[in-house]
Amino acid sequence: MDKTAITKELMKYISGESLTDINSLKDDTLIFENGLLDSMGLLFLIEFLKDKYGMEVTDEELNPENFESVNRIVSFIESKSISI
């Protein structure tokens, strides 16, 4: 998987879900602290990851650190792709 492509897809997804201008998002923007997504948004994000990248997220992986920014989500996806 290409890191740049994953980053762009996540930025597009988060922008669309939060109705935020994509140009205002940064790779390190704190998604939940800035109110871009809430707990329901996290569930939809996990479903998006499942549909887009075919990855499952376990209960143990529902750690806020894995989803706090686009950079962290990309790192999480990369770590999962090793075990997929």
Q: What is the pLDDT of residues 10-23, one digit of tens each?
A: 999 999 999 999 99
Q: How far apart are CA 25 and CA 52, in angstroms?
A: 21
Predicted TM-score (pTM) of the model is 0.90
DSSP state of 58: -
- In angstroms and rounded to an integer, the radius of gyration of the C-alpha atoms of the chain is 12
Provide DSSP, 3-44.
HHHHHHHHHHHHHHHHT--GGG--TT--TTTTTS--HHHHHH
State mean pLDDT over 60-71.
94
For residue range 26-50, list pLDDT tens digits in order. Answer: 999 999 999 999 999 999 999 999 9
pLDDT of 84: 43
Report residue 10 CA to chain centroid gap: 6
In this prediction, residue 62 carries a pLDDT of 92
pLDDT at 83: 52
**Structural domains of the chain, with CATH:** 3-83 (1.10.1200.10)
